[in-house]
Chain A
Amino acid sequence: MRSRIPRVGIGGPVGSGKTMLIEQIVPILSEKGYKVSIISNDVISKEDADRMRQNLATDKGLMPEELVIGVATGGCPHTAVREDPSINLSVIEELESKYPFLDLILIESGGDNITTTFSPALADYFIYIIDVTGGDKYPRKRGLGIENCDLLVINKIDIAPYVGADLKIMERDAKIVRGNMPTVFVNSKTGLGVNTVTSFIIKDVLFDALPKPSK
């Protein structure tokens, strides 16, 4: 029987930093010995997948190039990760057959609105990422993504002072909206806070398991 590889969905609006967060997470996981594949959904192009393949596979040699896969959804991005995730599921089935040694599959949604969520059939854990440039009102404006994700990531904290965003307000409102569910502040450009994101993945998705043997 094909073994099921744990999957993390990463969603968020266009430009919030989904791709860069993945580019920061993968080297940390890789250094710990975890073998990761990436599926990147985009509406029309496969630009994000091409960029991650170049960066993480070709330049850094952290994974084989074929383990970064681009999916052009052709419609509303959320449809491919929630209403009808069959395209993504078929890619995952192939990965599970060909690469059973993988520890984790990261699924990046296309840039979408604040109501993005992932189908439970597709992702075991859902990270939603926003950034400070939308203003410090963002968390309290709610939306399914912010309210229901397992981990809320607030990115680009380095530029908060330049856009008038108060991180304390964002932290306070995230707690009101999300209760005990965690929120992490990061700067994906420098990697600040990304270790915490990776720790959540290792604890809550990989159940603190050691990496699988290579092949």
Chain B
Amino acid sequence: MIQINKIVGNIYSDSDLHEKYQDMLKKDKVENIQISRLEADRIRMRKVSNKGTDLAMTLLPGSHIYDGDVVLLAEDRMVIAKRETENVATVTLNNDASTQQLLDSATKLGHIIGNMHRPIRVTNNKIYFPIQSNSEIELFKKLFYNLKQNIDIKIENIIFEPDLGFDIHGH
């Protein structure tokens, strides 16, 4: 068992680590641990990599684990955190709608999604929230029925990072 007290860095934001990652990948020295969205905020957990490395993680309070975080870097191995993807509904607001229509639609969408107690992420006219099963997309389409002129909704299987302070629960 190897004790882990801090994240070394991230292969997607640190060019040196990215280079190291590419090098170790070629030498078959890269290992992964799977981290779910709910585990991303945990600071104490035990994880076993896909190659059997046993890790006892005790991170600082407030730590968050991102996709590509380097959990362990040693001569013989590099252990990377792979965030699990999940089904996420993406609602796009129609750019052709008037400002008033967009404002009304966005407010009503927020009300409906909030009533379903979902965490959300909002970027570039898109609202993202996780869904628990494919059948739920039909439910949300019904709930959004009165807004259908101004929105488009689809499902994507992606890593979901809620906006800070909007990581509320499913009820």
Contact = CB atoms under 8 A, between A and B. Distances in A.
Interface of A: 4, 6, 78, 82-83, 113, 115, 117, 120-121, 124-125, 142, 144, 147-148, 203-205, 207-208
B43 interface: yes
A148 B170 CA distance: 12
B169 A207 contact: no
B43 A115 contact: no
Contacts, number: 44
Contact of A203 (B39, B46, B169): B46
Contact of A117 (B38, B43, B44, B46): B38
Interface in B4-59: 36, 38-39, 41-46, 56, 58
Nearest to B133: A142
A124 B42 contact: yes
B136 to A, nearest CB: 11
Contacts of B42: 120, 124
Given A4-B44, A115-B169, A144-B170, 8 more contacts: A4-B61, A83-B169, A120-B42, A121-B61, A124-B42, A142-B133, A148-B38, A207-B1
Interface string B102-137: 000000000000000000000000000000110000
Which one of B39, B56, B133, B169 has the highest number of Cβ atoms from chain A below 10 Å of its Cβ? B169
B132 A204 contact: no
A120 B36 contact: no
Given A120-B42, A124-B43, A125-B45, A208 B169 contact: no
Contacts of A144: 132, 169-170
Interface of B: 1, 36, 38-39, 41-46, 56, 58, 61, 132-133, 168-171
A125 B41 CA distance: 12
A144 B117 CA distance: 12
B36 A208 contact: no
A30 B168 CA distance: 36
Given A117-B38, A148-B36, A148-B38, A205 B169 contact: no
Nearest to A181: B36
B119 to A, nearest CB: 12
Contact of A207 (B36, B56, B168, B171): B56
Contacts of B170: 115, 144
B125 to A, nearest CB: 28
Contacts of A142: 132-133
A114 B61 CA distance: 28
A204 B46 contact: yes
Nearest to A7: B44
